[in-house]
Amino acid sequence: MEFTGKRALVTGGSEGIGRAVAQAFTERGARVAIMARRRDLLEQTARELGALAVPGDVSREDDANRAVERTVAELGGLDILVNNAAYGYFAALQEIDRTRFDALFAVNVTGAMLMARAAAPHFIRQKSGALINISSTAGLKGFARGTPYAATKFALRGMTECWRDELRRHNVRVLLVNPSEVQTAFGGRTPGEADPRKLRAREVADAIVGALLLDERGFVPELSIWATNPF
């Protein structure tokens, strides 16, 4: 893929992996829209990156549809969707709170579906596109206290496989990305803290760019990015 002139929408794009992906895309000449719930941080990030700020909550159907429609209207189309918006909730089985469990699925699973559903008609119509779902190594192997979070990532993996089978015949590439430990505020640290043993968000972004640089006649269906020694 040649990035120059491509139109991309990145959810959860105001910080962490989403911001790094948006920056990597813009540096290669793509026009990028970023979507997030916190309007102040979203607009600040958009100014810094030269991106289009699209406030919204991926778990709300109207917001998801509106984000895609606005991106298409203001950028002139849509070539790449990065489903990155997500958060974590961890608890032992006997301690799982049903309300928090459902809320996690609403963002991590339903939100990804709503965004992909809104973007798919544009990809199909133009017979090209890239749909990138940011999952986790938690979607490859479960772990203690990981039931809520791992369940959402295993679900995202299953949806990705279904969408890949549906969209390949329209020349749409569907890629699942599984980062391991990453230096972001996601894990409970403040954004300024860093652990040199863990991946940086930019490394995840660079891996995604590398996969997309492959000529569009082929694609990388799944990409796992591991920290070498995070312990």
188, 181, 105, 189: which is closest to 149 by C-alpha?
A: 105
Of the residues 25, 149, 154, 219, which is catalytic?
Answer: 149
CB-CB contact of 34 with 144 (8 Å) = no
168's CB contacts (< 8 A; 6+ apart) are 174
Tell me the one-letter amino acid at 181.
E
Strand partners of residue 174? 131
Residue 175 in 3-state DSSP?
Answer: strand
> How big is the chain by its Cα radius of gyration, in Å?
17
Active site residue 149: yes
Residues with catalytic function: 149
